[in-house]
Structure 1
Amino acid sequence: MLGADGVPVFSYLEGVRDGNPWAYAIEDIGAGAADTITSRMPGWAVSAPAELGRALLDRGARLLRHMHVMWCDLPIARPVADAAPAGFRIVPCDRSPAEIFPAWFAAYPPGHPDHRPRDGEKALKEELVPLLSGEEIGPLLPCSVLAVRDEGEVVGGVLVTDSNRGPWIADVFRHPDRSPRGLGALMLSTALVHAGADGLTGIGLVVTEGNPARRVYERLGFRVVAATMTVMI
């Protein structure tokens, strides 16, 4: 993106978020970036480092999500030793989007830091299907796992993608009514063990400000490396 004087003020990748154009992975931020984004990108969702995000909020942008980027060096990951609770199994992520959707959609009820009102059919078609197919972030990696009941119902999962930032956990989800507490940590730990066995040396994720899951991530070896904000211009 060029400023008013024709000098580049930042670089970004372009995508779609909730039906709106989305600028993310913003880098090479120069003077005037906040003013340029405000004047040139109305109607865009923008994910930016926290400092730029605050400058955009000061110029009237609306906060969508305040996130912390976390990274785990797999050689020092601290796996959970527990086995799956009776009646549950941890399996490869080899089910269809329709089978995964009920638990994925139910994982973010009202009151959850990542809840946002949305139509279920649209979320399946425009969010989960592209995520699982690799179109949204990158190909799903073999270390991705699902938690299922013995009869086969999917109740949770960890979706790991090969993103432009390297191995990336795109989602950790658990059905709040159909699965026991602690299953999320077990799923994530299992995915980390599989990732290490596959030769990966590190893995990242983002967690929303105020999400108690951050404590679980820290317990498993993740550390905060950056803060970002997604705002609507």
Structure 2
Amino acid sequence: MLAAQARRDLAGARLETPDDALAAALVAGGLTLRRAATDMRHELTDVPEPVPLPAGWSWGTRRVGTTTWPRGWRAAYGPDHPDGPWQPSDTAEVRGMFERAEPVPPLLPASARVVGPDGRSAGHVLAAGPVPWTEDVCAWILNLGVAPAAQRRGLGRALLGHALHGARAAGLPRVGLSVADGNPARRMYDEAGFRPVARVLTVALPGDDGSPDALP
């Protein structure tokens, strides 16, 4: 009954719920589970020491260039990423943050990209905060990724540490993020001191006309 009510009242919307039974009922009714993830928090009272970058690697500018940041995003979010490949709509959304502060501006002290010896972007962390979609006051790591060719050098831990220290320097009490099931970065977040606070299952509901869900 609850699944039917959700389909009726939230037609055309993206439903995010911690209720496994509700999500299972919707999927059994023919809908698609878009994402299964865990929301996590880090209380910034105890922040790990910064991780230095390896020799030859450096921090790049936070400005969104026409090729630098987008190229790094595409490399880090390849077709095998748990959240899927990076899309042009993702680039447009992030550009909106930097250029028009929509829906929220980036938290620049907690955002950065890493540049390899060849001058190319090899990893990034993008944060915002405080964000309006949480009940607690926190910075939010929107995405963090390292290109496959640059992995196993500690760049992910360096980027995560940069975000934590940057959020604390900005005066925010904690950092939140959402990590999809199957993402190997979960181990890194656990080791850095993040704790799980909620399970979030995402199902896209069809519109009133019965059309299949088309949400990304």
- TM-score tier, shorter chain, comes to 0.7 to 0.9
The amino acid of 2:197's aligned partner reads V
Residue in 1 aligned with 2:156? 184
Q: Does 1:155 align with 2:122?
A: yes
Residue in 2 aligned with 1:6? none
The answer on whether the counterparts of 2:141 and 2:177 sit within 8 Å (CA) in structure 1 is yes
SS across alignment from 1:158: strand
Task: Say if 1:207 and 1:131 are closer, same or farther in 2 by CA, change over 3 A.
Answer: farther
SS across alignment from 1:46: strand
SS across alignment from 1:177: helix
Cα displacement string for residues 89-115 of structure 1 (whole angstroms, at most 9, x for unaligned residues): 134522326420111112122332121
Q: In 2, Cα distance between the equivalents of 1:92 and 1:75?
A: 28
The answer on whether the counterparts of 2:54 and 2:153 sit within 8 Å (CA) in structure 1 is no
The amino acid of 2:27's aligned partner reads L
Residue in 1 aligned with 2:39? 69
Larger RCO (CA within 8 A; separation ≥ 6): 2
Residue in 2 aligned with 1:113? 82
SS across alignment from 2:106: coil
Q: CA deviation at 1:62?
A: 0.6
Residue in 1 aligned with 2:71? 102
Residue in 1 aligned with 2:141? 169
Q: Does 1:146 align with 2:116?
A: no
The answer on whether the counterparts of 1:93 and 1:145 sit within 8 Å (CA) in structure 2 is yes
Give the RMSD, CA atoms, in angstroms.
2.4
Q: Residue 95 of structure 2 is aligned with which of 129, 143, 149? A: 129
- Which stretch of the first structure deviates more once superposed, 218-227 or 148-157? 148-157
Q: CA deviation at 1:188?
A: 0.7
Q: TM-score of the superposition, structure 1-length normalised?
A: 0.74
Which consecutive unaligned segments of at least 5 residues does structure 2 have? 206-216
Task: Report sequence identity in percent.
Answer: 32
Q: CA deviation at 1:179?
A: 5.4
Q: TM-score of the superposition, structure 2-length normalised?
A: 0.79
The amino acid of 2:52's aligned partner reads A
The answer on whether the counterparts of 2:51 and 2:157 sit within 8 Å (CA) in structure 1 is no
Q: CA deviation at 1:174?
A: 1.3
The amino acid of 1:130's aligned partner reads G
SS across alignment from 1:39: helix
The answer on whether the counterparts of 1:97 and 1:128 sit within 8 Å (CA) in structure 2 is no
Which consecutive unaligned segments of at least 5 residues does structure 1 have? 1-31
Q: Which structure has the highest strand share of the two?
A: 1
Q: Would you say how many aligned residue pairs link Structure 1 and Structure 2?
A: 197
The amino acid of 1:87's aligned partner reads G
Q: In 2, Cα distance between the equivalents of 1:196 and 1:63?
A: 35
Task: Say if 1:97 and 1:204 are closer, same or farther in 2 by CA, change over 3 A.
Answer: farther
Q: CA deviation at 1:226?
A: 0.4
